[in-house]
A and B are shown apart, each in its own frame.
Chain A
Amino acid sequence: MPAAEADKRARGIGALAQDTLWCFSQVKGTIEIGATEADIISTVEFNHTGELLATGDKGGRVVIFQREQESKNQVHRRGEYNVYSTFQSHEPEFDYLKSLEIEEKINKIRWLPQQNAAYFLLSTNDKTVKLWKVSERDKRPEGYNLKDEEGRLRDPATITTLRVPVLRPMDLMVEATPRRVFANAHTYHINSISVNSDYETYMSADDLRINLWNFEITNQSFNIVDIKPANMEELTEVITAAEFHPHHCNTFVYSSSKGTIRLCDMRASALCDRHTKFFEEPEDPSNRSFFSEIISSISDVKFSHSGRYIMTRDYLTVKVWDLNMENRPIETYQVHDYLRSKLCSLYENDCIFDKFECVWNGSDSVIMTGSYNNFFRMFDRNTKRDVTLEASRENSKPRAILKPRKVCVGGKRRKDEISVDSLDFSKKILHTAWHPSENIIAVAATNNLYIFQDKVN
């Protein structure tokens, strides 16, 4: 059929002409069904320009992709991401006191803004944060006086002339070196790291405490939040995520397992136990159940690029809050409300504890989060329209337009719909990333990384 007709169908019924069409671009990772658990992607993050895309996995490895320069010959094909560097960031460790393993799984990666030719990123597992420097080398010095071409030392007595070494081109080599290791500061599991807008400090948050670090100092950190009760019997709430304000280096937020967000100002006191703002939505009594608290637990919190809003993800919804209004969110989006009647089963199989992340697009107009069955959802804050897409190998033809998916909640199931009971809960999209300025998204589906772009033209 004509291309225009196909486009119309792909957009779905009633869609406006301006809706974004998403196309498959690339997929990274193996196709085998029995891929090892170490390959499961645990974090995805673009750098500040979008030139680099980093992933961390359960095996403690970091893989960085770089976008190739766009070619004038192929205007239809925007720059693809190719492997730039791969390195082992964290190794498994053993805590001999508690007789427990410390997982090497990379929980988070955060990029530092680029200040010279090298790239810097922070990667963390449950206990230790590391600063990595990724740099290129495409020249090497030749013509040493004291070493010969193979690197063997020369006997100084045999040297009769001196020469100046010159730099000669070599094959591009990308090397990653650990520049700082920030260890031994967290009793509990680190869930978040966030680089401050001053680019000199960053914070790391675990279940009960948040620490502030200076990049140059690894043997000290300042504790800025401590919610550990004096009596651990009384522990009922933990920290689930934390982030610095994008512009105000004194401001940060952290979320809790009780569905609350606290905004803190570090100028107020050294220990930010008293929040400046407290965001909580009153509970809906009609929806109350034994699972209410669990599904209200916030799994991710993100400032908008503008710094005016924060977005939170709990089990069933994504919410947008205005920093100036603490008593309720300004927007609430249902991610997969059809799961509300299945909470007991999801509690039994532990899926109810899955921690989904959420992301803003570059202009803060669209938000995205993942779901089950390799579905992910996008919500346009302006048009109030939403779409469900799927990351799967079946939709993996180059530049194939993704067809919107729909879950049937009851009654007659239409042809392309999938019923709730057929959803695959082992295929969960927990980690996604959005390019800082373009419509390019990276979606982690277990051990595969999908890259989608909006349709050109």
Chain B
Amino acid sequence: MFARGLKRKSAEDAEDADGGGAGVPAAPSYTLQRQSLLDMSLVKLQLCHMLVEPNLCRSVLIANTVRQIQEEMTQDGTWRVVAPQAAGRAPLDRLVSTEILCRSGREQEGEGDGPLPDPAPGQAPRRPQSSPWGLDGSREGRGGFQKSLDHIFETLENKTPGSVEELFSDVDSSYYDLDAVLTGMVGGTPSGPGLPAFAPAAAAPPSSTCRSDLGELEHAVEILVET
């Protein structure tokens, strides 16, 4: 089921399954490889492309891959918190490493200690420390991202089925209405302040669902998958 020739990831996370055509890996190795793929995919979704809007096609394909893995793990019954004894540092490392990647990409300040200290086994860090953008979700896309990032960590902690959808559920809707109005894509006169740049644009309204589209959840997905 899994692709062959998995590149070696890190010592504690995956077996060395180097070389092409090594044959289907044994079951425990497959689980680790699948977990490694899940980690890689989540990192890819979170990698902060702050300057240019990231590729939606790529984000959708990665998100679909995450869903596939999640579905399979749900069927396996492995989509639960790994027993602390067996996992040891593994889940913590995963959370920490993902967070650090995003943290270094954003150059957050006030966290010169580097990686979070090792909490007691079985208890993962709940939230990153004192984010400069706060945790209440500002209007800025970045603040929204930080909040959603926390959500991802919490969700991974809880690991309930359908948690991927939960990631997209918490949203500041007024921000998106503003965006909807000013994007001008929906056609008709924007109800907000008339920006010359968005004066009569596409005249034919795409479909009746569009206005409601630009409501709550679109930007949540955009923030998550794009930033």
Contact partner of B207 (CB less than 8 A), chosen from A211, A220, A271, A290, is A271
Contact A189 B20 (CB under 8 A): no
Bound-state Cα–Cα, A345 to B33, Å: 12
Residues of A within 8 Å of B149, CB to CB, are: none
Chain A residue, CB-CB nearest to B22: A341
Residues of B within 8 Å of A236, CB to CB, are: 60, 63-64
Bound-state Cα–Cα, A30 to B44, Å: 33
- Report which A residues bind B (CB closer than 8 A): 95, 97-103, 126, 183-189, 207-209, 211, 219-223, 226, 228-233, 235-238, 240, 257, 271, 288-291, 293-294, 297, 340-345, 347-348, 350, 353, 410, 420
Tell me, yes or no, whether B184 is within 8 Å of chain A by CB: yes
Contact B217 A410 (CB under 8 A): no
Question: Which chain B residues in 21-80 approach chain A with CB under 8 Å?
Answer: 21, 33-34, 37, 40, 44, 51-53, 55-58, 60-61, 63-65, 68-69
Q: Smallest CB–CB gap between B19 and chain A, Å? A: 9
Contact A291 B220 (CB under 8 A): no
Name 14 interchain pairs, CB-CB below 8 A, sorted by A.
A95-B53, A102-B52, A103-B52, A207-B56, A223-B204, A223-B205, A228-B206, A231-B217, A232-B168, A271-B206, A293-B68, A340-B3, A341-B4, A344-B37
Chain B residue, CB-CB nearest to A233: B168
Contact B65 A290 (CB under 8 A): yes
Q: How many B residues have CB within 8 A of the partner chain?
A: 57
Residues of B within 8 Å of A223, CB to CB, are: 202, 204-207
Chain A residue, CB-CB nearest to B203: A220
Query: Which 4 pairs show the lowest CB-CB distances between chains A and B?
Result: A184-B201, A220-B203, A232-B218, A223-B206
Q: Smallest CB–CB gap between A22 and chain B, Å? A: 30
Given A211-B202, A257-B61, A420-B20 in contact, is the A188-B7 Cβ separation under 8 Å?
no
Bound-state Cα–Cα, A392 to B64, Å: 37
Given contacts A232-B218, A293-B68, 11 further A-B contacts (CB under 8 A): A126-B53, A187-B185, A219-B203, A232-B168, A289-B3, A290-B34, A290-B65, A293-B65, A343-B3, A348-B40, A410-B21
Contact A341 B60 (CB under 8 A): no
Bound-state Cα–Cα, A95 to B179, Å: 12
Q: Mark each residue of chain B from 179 to 203: 1 if its CB lies under 8 Å from any CB of chain A, else 0.
A: 1001111000000000001101111
Contact partner of A185 (CB less than 8 A), chosen from B20, B40, B61, B202, is B202
Bound-state Cα–Cα, A97 to B183, Å: 9
Contact A189 B213 (CB under 8 A): no
Bound-state Cα–Cα, A40 to B142, Å: 30
Chain B residue, CB-CB nearest to A100: B53
Bound-state Cα–Cα, A406 to B194, Å: 60
Chain B residue, CB-CB nearest to A209: B206
Chain A residue, CB-CB nearest to B183: A187
Bound-state Cα–Cα, A229 to B207, Å: 11
- Report which B residues bind A (CB closer than 8 A): 1-7, 20-21, 33-34, 37, 40, 44, 51-53, 55-58, 60-61, 63-65, 68-69, 140-142, 165, 168, 179, 182-185, 197-198, 200-207, 209-210, 212-213, 217-218, 220-222
Contact A97 B58 (CB under 8 A): no
Contact A344 B3 (CB under 8 A): yes
Contact B204 A184 (CB under 8 A): no
Chain B residue, CB-CB nearest to A258: B64
Contact B206 A232 (CB under 8 A): no
Bound-state Cα–Cα, A344 to B44, Å: 13
Given A97-B182, A211-B202 in contact, is the A230-B3 Cβ separation under 8 Å?
no
Chain A residue, CB-CB nearest to B5: A341
Bound-state Cα–Cα, A98 to B52, Å: 10
Q: Smallest CB–CB gap between B72 and chain A, Å? A: 8
Q: Smallest CB–CB gap between B4 and chain A, Å? A: 5
Contact B201 A101 (CB under 8 A): no
Residues of B within 8 Å of A288, CB to CB, are: 1
Contact partner of B7 (CB less than 8 A), chosen from A228, A291, A297, A344, is A344
Given A220-B203, A257-B60 in contact, is the A189-B37 Cβ separation under 8 Å?
no
Chain A residue, CB-CB nearest to B225: A235
Bound-state Cα–Cα, A340 to B20, Å: 10
Given A271-B207, A345-B7 in contact, is the A189-B168 Cβ separation under 8 Å?
no
Q: Smallest CB–CB gap between B102 and chain A, Å? A: 17
Contact A99 B203 (CB under 8 A): no
Contact partner of B52 (CB less than 8 A), chosen from A100, A226, A410, is A100
The CB with the most chain A CB atoms within 10 A, among B3, B5, B207, is that of: B3
Contact partner of B60 (CB less than 8 A), chosen from A99, A238, A347, A420, is A238
Contact partner of A189 (CB less than 8 A), chosen from B56, B61, B142, B205, is B56
Q: Smallest CB–CB gap between B10 and chain A, Å? A: 12
Given A98-B141, A293-B65 in contact, is the A184-B51 Cβ separation under 8 Å?
no
Bound-state Cα–Cα, A344 to B203, Å: 45
Contact A235 B60 (CB under 8 A): yes
Residues of B within 8 Å of A233, CB to CB, are: 165, 168, 217, 221
Residues of B within 8 Å of A344, CB to CB, are: 3, 5-7, 33, 37
Contact B60 A237 (CB under 8 A): yes
Residues of A within 8 Å of B220, CB to CB, are: 232
Residues of A within 8 Å of B6, CB to CB, are: 344
